[in-house]
Amino acid sequence: MKKLQMSTHEIGPPWQCEQFNCFIHFMQEEQQAIIRNYNALPSHDAQYQYLAGRMTLYPVISRRPRCPEAEISFW
């Protein structure tokens, strides 16, 4: 029963992600290969590791304050 639940993920329609355009980065064949490999994994832990391995981390760009610190009034 658990294997059946873990292996039933399928590709849905593209979500309208305007900020990142997530579905533009992968062709349909790549999406199907990712889901097929994901469904073939034996446990949730293996699935989480598979997804984590496919992610790319980018450094966070910190923003500068809008006004100089001397002008900032806390009280």
What is residue 9's predicted lDDT score, i.e. its pLDDT? 76
Confidence of residue 73 (pLDDT cuts 50, 70, 90): low
* Domain locations along the chain: 1-8+17-55
CA pair distance 74, 71, nearest whole angstrom: 10
19-58 pLDDT, tens digit per residue, is 767 667 778 888 888 888 988 998 989 999 998 998 888 8
Confidence of residue 1 (pLDDT cuts 50, 70, 90): very low
CA pair distance 24, 22, nearest whole angstrom: 6
Give the list of residues 6+ apart from residue 42 with CB closer than 8 angstroms, or none.
3
What burial letters (b/e) apply to 11-37, b meaning 16+ CB within 10 Å?
eeeeeeeeeeeeeeeeeeeeeeebeee
Check whether 68 has a pLDDT greater than 70: no
Model's pTM, two decimal places? 0.57
Give the list of residues 6+ apart from residue 14 with CB closer than 8 angstroms, or none.
22, 23
